[in-house]
Amino acid sequence: MTSEGTKTIKTRFCIISDTHTAKLWPSSDKSHAYRSPLPSADVLLHAGDITMIGYVSEYKSMIDMLAQADAELKIVIAGNHDVTLDGPYYEKIGKRKFHRNFGEDLKVVRDIWTGQEAKKAGIVYLDEGVRTFKLSNGASFTIYASPYQPEFCNFAFGYRRDEDRFNQKAQNPVPGWPNIDIMLTHGPPAGILDETRHGDKVGCEHLLRATRRCRPRLHCFGHIHEGWGAQRTNWVKEHSEILPLDRQQVLSDCCAYVNLSKDNKTEFTAGSRDPLTFGEETLFVNAAIMDVDYKPVNAPWRVDLDLPVAGQAEG
C-alpha cells in the first residue's frame, strides 16, 4: 500500500482498445459515445487490435487519429488482429492467411509506430515488457505491457492455454508488487470482463495469477468485445464489484468516467468515491470500442488515479 509519506499526483487516463481502424464519429453525432474528440488526458492507453487485419493504410489512419488526441503520452500495444506487428507469425502464417496476393513490408509497419511522426505525436509503441515514464505533471509510473493472448483462430500474438508467459519462468514475467502501477495487455485475465456472448469465460488463468501477484493500480485490456466495462477488485477482502454506469451520462460525456483519486469532487463517476488503495485494490477496464458485431458503439474510458511523484519509492 502507499506509505503515509508518499506524495501523489492526480493523473488522468483515456483508455481505448479494439478500434479495428474505426474512425471517430463526428462531434455532432450525439447518438455515439465514440465520437470526436477523444477525452483529453495526461496519458492515452490503447490495448491493441488497432486494425482489422494489419494493413499499412490502417495503421496510418490510426496514427492520424491518435495524433489528434489531447494527451501528453499515448501508449499503444498490438493485438491479435494487428498481424503485421508480429513479424515471426506474419512470415510463417499471417501473410499466407490474410495477405495472399501481396505482403506488407514489416519494416514500414514498424517504422509507422516507432518513427519520427509517431514520436512527434507523443505515441509510444510497446512490445512485451516493462517501461517507466515520467510526466510533465510530476508523476511517474511503471507499466507492464503485452500484446499476447491465448491462441485464437490462428491469429497473431497467440500462445497455448497451458503456456504461462506471465509468471516467474516466463521470458518477460510480470514483476510482483509494488513494482508495477499499470498493466496493459490485449487479453483479459480469467473471470474478469472476459465473458463472450455464448457465456464462456475465456480470459487467461496465468494472467490472473500474475495480476494477483502484481496488484497494479490499473489493468487495461480488450479483445473480448462483449466484456466492455470496469471492475474494482479488493485483493485483501477478496471482493469485486462491476462499476455501475449511467448510460445517458456516458453518451453525454463521450466516455465512461471513473475517479478513484483522492481528489474526487465529481458528481458523475462510476462506483465508489473512495480512492483506490495501491497494493490492496486494482481497477480493471475492458476498453473494447467495438461490440461483438464490429460496430464502434462502446465508449472510451476516462479514469483518474493517484500516481507517485517521480523519484519516490513506495512500499
For residue 88, count CB atoms less than 10 angstroms from its CB and return exposed for 0-12, middle for 13-18, buried for 19 or more: exposed
- C-beta separation of 255 from 301 below 8 A: yes
- C-beta separation of 307 from 6 below 8 A: no
pLDDT band at 2 (very low <50, low <70, confident <90, very high): very low
Q: What pTM did the predictor assign?
A: 0.96
Q: What is the pLDDT of residues 151-177, one digit of tens each?
A: 989 999 999 999 999 999 899 999 999
pLDDT band at 101 (very low <50, low <70, confident <90, very high): confident
In the numeric block, the cell 496514427 is attached to: 63
Q: How far is CA 245 from CA 43, 249, 252, 255, 306, in A?
A: 22, 8, 12, 11, 22
- C-beta separation of 62 from 51 below 8 A: yes
Report how far residue 2's alpha carbon sits from residue 315's, in angstroms, rounded to the nearest whole number. Answer: 6
Report how far residue 161's alpha carbon sits from residue 172's, in angstroms, rounded to the nearest whole number. Answer: 17
- C-beta separation of 5 from 308 below 8 A: no
- C-beta separation of 184 from 141 below 8 A: no
Q: How far is CA 96 from CA 47, 54, 99, 101, in A?
A: 26, 13, 6, 8
Q: What is the pLDDT of residue 311?
A: 81
Q: What is the pLDDT of residue 6?
A: 78
Going by C-alpha positions, the residue among 121, 153, 155 that lies closest to residue 46 is 121
Distance in Å from the first CA to the final CA of the chain: 6
